[in-house]
Structure 1
Amino acid sequence: MIAATGVDESSLHYRGWRVVLACFLMAFFMFGFGLYGQGVYLAELQRAHGWPGSLVSAASTFSFLLTAILVIFTDDLLARIGLRSLILCGLAALGASTVLLALMQTPWQLYLAYALMSVGWTGMGTVVIATVLNSWFERRRGLALSLAFNGATCGGIVLVPLLLSLTGSIGFRAAMLVATILMVVLVLPVVVGFIGWPAENLRATGGRSGGAAAAPAHSRKTLLASAAFWTMVLPIAIALLAQMGFIIHQVTFLEPLIGRASAGLAVTIMAAMAVVGRLSLGLFVDRLDPRLACAASMTSQAAALFVLLQSTSPVVLLACCAVYGFSIGNMITFPPLIIQREIGSAAFAAAMGLGTSISGIVSAFGPGIVGLARSASGDYTMAFAMCVVLDLVAAGIVLWRPGVRAKLAAL
């Protein structure tokens, strides 16, 4: 049952917008520390301990793969311990992870820190944010998701430069401890004060803390047999594979063409346009067909990459990065919108967890595949052309609509 039915979701007094603020802060610190900050850890841990880059990079890969496994069970955790408890566990795990990163002395502590970070992703990541906002919003669901997930991009834009600045002035250890304290001070009160299931959800489920997220264990098996599920998950996974491949190799591709400073500017422009893209889509997406909008986003990324390969003009290259960035953030906004429309609330958390796991595992291979293609051909032409094809294939798959709705009412 959607709590937003019969309420004015556009009113600033609606409690759901306070939940959006809490989710924004969760995404800000989770993505800031758990994704964008990993480049900082790589450099600083190598400098402080002399550890090879391969050791730290392997820990990152371990963390992403462990996260992909843990998020599958998000719906079970929500049903067993409740929403607020899961988020607080995630916050505690992420805080412990960042403190350990600051204080560690041996490689095994590095892997422990990254394992704790995976627990943080389970409690504060995409699946939980999408699930709680799905329960609070119906008519403005797309805008709520867009605003909350903008916290992820802002985490990269704000938190990483802050860490670098603090590291330069007070050192990496103190910088991580200060940033961790800041996270707890900002996130803990809003989680305790704002986060929870809507009252309608609790009444509909007899007061269980799991609310609408609770679903029988066999729902995952049913999802894997659902055409609606696969025509959403597979194209998103393919598009994210291409996206991750381009993002990781973007600077290496652009630097010989336009120089280091301009390549860095291209990254900044792309990140800023990701925020603009999320906000712009959020204003209209609730009136759009999410599959059509998703296909259009994938096609726009393919077009941007295609033009990127045809030009050496700095203006054109920066413009292509801007167009590409416009759709980057929306790739994690579309899945919950499609799931709610075609699969429904009963198995929402299960579908988000399983879908996020599949797309996370597939997209993790993006940087490696692009790197191999570049090594085999000697430049990025074949590698990025492959990304163009992948985006177009993904756009075609997401437009295929199964003849039977996969609404899992039986669950």
Structure 2
Amino acid sequence: MIAGTRIDESSPRYRGWRVVLACFMMAFFMFGFGLYGQGVYLAELQRAHGWPGTLISAASTFSFLLTSVLVIFTDDLLARIGLRALILCGLSALGASTVLLALMQTPWQLYLAYALMSVGWTGMGTVVIATVLNSWFEQRRGLALSLAFNGATCGGIILVPLLLSLTGSIGFRSAMLAATLAMMVLVLPVVVTFIGWPAGTLPSPGGRVSGAAAPVHSRKALLANAAFWTMVLPIAIALLAQMGFIIHQVTFLEPLIGRASAGLAVTIMAAMAIVGRLSLGLFVDRLDPRLACAASMTSQAAALFVALQSTSPTVLLACCAVYGFSIGNMITFPPLIIQREIGSSAFAAAMGLGTSISGIVSAFGPGIVGLVRSFTGNYTTAFALCVVLDLVAAGVVLWRPGRRAEIAARRVD
């Protein structure tokens, strides 16, 4: 899959590590604005415009659903317009989205902003990052993925508290415009300078690299692959619960522990996600990714269950820390399982299709949590549902296809 396999990937001079830096910056702002920041938008847009939480939550669901459709075609877009052009389109769309969020006055503008955010996800999200790093790394692939995706977690640690702090001092509009300007100044240079494919390679539809002796993998064949489904479905279910909690976290915690402590909880959760992802990256070759995935889902269920039983700031912050330990790995496990059980030749196609399916399912998380909260008047039932979903997902991911299915998975046609 990669060019120049004779190069020592552990060397700081290897160009792939500069690509990791660029991917880190992309993930920082894409996840900071596009995922963790949505909890801030929910609270601030309600406060500024008096819009119901269900309206804003539905916009989040719409955005994630649209993203899930668009990412199916990521491998085709990479081949047709090129890696750098796709990323720059995504960066421009994300910038337009955050500017519109700052300036909007009517609900239709909210949906336009979230549609632009979906284009940003297509150009700067998980599938693009995983695919480009898969082409640069073989021996250190797990570590490279972990380091790059830690940018997503750092977006929660730094960007969300910064937005909350700036909003309190200069207002939501000015805070969003300042953060957008910072994104353009920091991300644009590293993308233009560092992003590219390894010398002598060019991706083609289906996730192949030119010159590689690998068959084209159809999406239909992947959908008939048992190993593919026993990876996609549990991840999708767990992400549904996770997305619902992340988007509603600030709104859930603010009445219990105050605005500042709610921001601290987001920071703690994101910091623990870094610890969890780095732990996986360092020991990835020694772990069974399915078993580790099930353990992560179970720990999230336990943390959320305890959080529902307490109003103590200390306990709630501790629960957010435990929950956060596994957050980052929910997007790191799929490429690791795909690489082991489906293979490199179908990587981009499987990542795109898997991300789409899990994205469609998980997109309902914010809307479902918001809807249940509206009906019940509190988050208890909504988050209890998330606990059940995590436990179901942990059971499903441990179901392994038989040996024949494993062999067929590597020969997907």
Q: Could you state the TM-score of these two structures normalised by the residue count of structure 1?
A: 0.86
Contact preservation (8 Å) 2:61, 2:364: no
Counterpart of 1:21 in structure 2 is 21
Q: What corresponds to 2:301 in structure 1?
A: 302
- 2:208 paired with 1:212: yes
String of CA shifts for 1:304-337, please: whole Å, max 9, x gaps: 3444456666544443332221111110000011
Matches within 5 A, 1:229-308: 229-248=228-247, 250=249, 265-308=264-307
What displacement does 1:371 show? 5.6
Q: What's the counterpart of residue 338 of structure 2?
A: 339
Aligned to 1:145: 145
Contact 2:60 2:366 in 1 (8 A): no
- The one-letter code sitting in structure 1 at the alignment partner of 2:97 is S
Shift of 1:409: 4.7
| CA deviation map 1:103-149 (0-9, x unaligned) | 44554443332221111110001111111111111222121111111
Aligned in 2, Cα 1:377/1:98: closer, same or farther, shift over 3 Å?
Answer: closer
* Alpha carbons of structure 1 residues 38 and 384: separation in structure 2 relative to 1, 3 Å: closer
SS in structure 2 at match of 1:138 = coil
Residue of structure 1 equivalent to 2:224: 225
The Cα shift of 1:232 comes to 0.4
What is the rounded CA distance, in whole Å, between the counterparts of 2:255 and 2:92 in structure 1? 43
Distance across 2 between alignment mates of 1:7 and 1:227? 36
> How far apart are the structure 2 equivalents of 1:60 and 1:246?
13
Query: Gaps (5+ residues) in structure 2?
Result: none
Distance of 2:277 and 2:109 partners within structure 1: 37
Note closer, same or farther for the CA distance 1:348–1:367 as it changes in structure 2 (3 Å cut).
same
Deviation at 1:90, TM superposition (A): 0.8
1:23 and 1:144 mapped to 2: Cα distance?
10
SS at match of 2:187: helix
* 1:395 match: 394
Three-state SS of the structure 2 residue aligned to 1:12 is: coil
Q: CA deviation at 1:181?
A: 2.4
Supply the distance in 1 between the matched residues of 2:30 and 2:224 (Cα, whole angstroms). Answer: 32
What letter is aligned with 2:190?
A: V
Task: Please name the residue that 1:110 is paired with.
Answer: 110
User: Structure 1 residue 294: deviation in Å?
Assistant: 1.1
Q: Is the Cα–Cα contact under 8 Å of residues 273 and 325 in structure 2 kept in the other structure?
A: yes
Cα distance in 2 between the residues matched to 1:58 and 1:334 = 28
- SS at 2:328 equivalent: helix
The verdict on how the C-alpha distance between 1:265 and 1:186 changes in structure 2, with shifts beyond 3 A counting, is closer
Deviation string 1:67-89 (CA, Å, 9 cap, x unpaired) is: 11111111111121121111111
Quote how far apart the aligned CAs of 1:52 are: 5.4
Distance 1:172 1:253 in 2: 20
Q: How many residues align?
A: 407
| TM-aligned CA deviation for residue 39 of structure 1 | 3.7
Whole-Å separation in 2 of the counterparts to 1:47 and 1:392: 35
1:27 CA drift (Å): 0.7
Q: CA RMSD in A?
A: 3.2
Structure 1: 5+ residue runs without aligned partners? none
> Which TM-score applies when normalising by structure 2?
0.85
Q: Which residue of 2 aligns with 1:126?
A: 126
Q: Which range moves more in the overlay, 170-179 or 41-50?
A: 41-50
In 2: Cα distance, 1:40 partner to 1:90 partner: 22
Residue 355 of structure 1: aligned partner: 354
Is the contact between residue 79 and residue 213 of structure 1 (CA under 8 Å) also seen in structure 2? no
Equivalent positions of 1:52-67 (< 5 A) are 54-67=54-67
Which stretch shifts more, 261-270 or 127-136? 261-270
Check the 8 A contact 1:140/1:286 in 2, yes or no: no
Q: Distance in 2 between the 1:169 and 1:261 partners?
A: 13
Superposition map of 1:30-49 within 5 A: 30-45=30-45
Moved more, 343-352 or 209-218: 209-218
- How far 1:358 moved relative to its partner? 1.6
Structure 1 residues 394 and 41 mapped into 2: Cα distance closer, same or farther (>3 Å)? closer
CA distance in 1, matches of 2:92, 2:170: 24
